[in-house]
Amino acid sequence: MLALLLLAFVSVFTGELLGDKLLYTVGALATRFRLLPILVGVSSAFMGKMLVAVVLGGFVANLPGKIVALLSAVTFITMALALFFKAAPGTDQVARGSVSILRASLISFSLVFFSEWGDIGQITAATLVARYNAPLVIWIGGTLAMVSKAILALTVGTVLRNRIPREILRYCGVFLLFSLGVLSLLSVAGFK
C-alpha cells in the first residue's frame, strides 16, 4: 500500500511539474495574498479534482479537450480582468493583509478548481485507479503531490513578492493570467 501511495505521489508530481500552468497560477496568487488562505483554497481544490479523477477513473482521461480548454480560458481571463480592475496596489483595499482569509481562499480555490480539468495529474490518477483499483490510496498520493507542487509555487511567489514592487507584480499577474487564457482559447481552436 505504501508503495502504491508513493507511486501515485511521484507519478502525479512529476507529470504536474513538466510544463503545467498551475505552477504559475499559484505563484501569482502568492504575490497577492497571504500564504495560508491560498494553501487552504488550492488544497481544497486539489482534493476535489483528485476525488473526481479517482471516482471517474478513466472517464476523466477522455473528457473533450475543447471543453476543458474553454473552461480554463474563461477562468483565466475572468481572473485576469478581476485583477486588472482591482484598485491599484498601494491602497489599503489591495494590501495583502486586508483581504479576508475566506475571500483569498475562495479565489484560490476557484482559480484552481475551475481550470485545467483533465490535466496530466488527473489523467495519471485516473489511470492508476483503473490499473490498481485503490482509489483512496491514489487519491491521497495524488492530492499530496498537488499540494507539494502548490507549496513549491508559493515559495517562488513569496520570493517574488518580497523582491518586486506590487504594481509590477500586478501587471505581470494580469499578463500571465490573460496569456494562459489566450493559450487555452488557442487550444480550443486547434492550435497547440
Q: What is the pTM of this model?
A: 0.70
Residue 93 is predicted with a pLDDT of 41
Residue 186 confidence (pLDDT) above 60? yes
Q: Assess whether pLDDT exceeds 50 at residue 115.
A: yes
Query: pLDDT for 123-135, tens place per residue?
Result: 788 888 877 888 8
Q: How far apart are CA 77 and CA 130, in angstroms?
A: 34
- Written as one letter, the residue type at 82 is A
Rg, Å, the chain Cα set:
17
What's the helix, strand, coil split of the chain in %, to 5?
A: 80, 0, 20
pLDDT, residue 176, reads: 78
Q: Mean of the pLDDT values across residues 144-171?
A: 85
pLDDT at 48 over 90: yes
- 101 neighbors 38 (Cβ within 8 angstroms): no
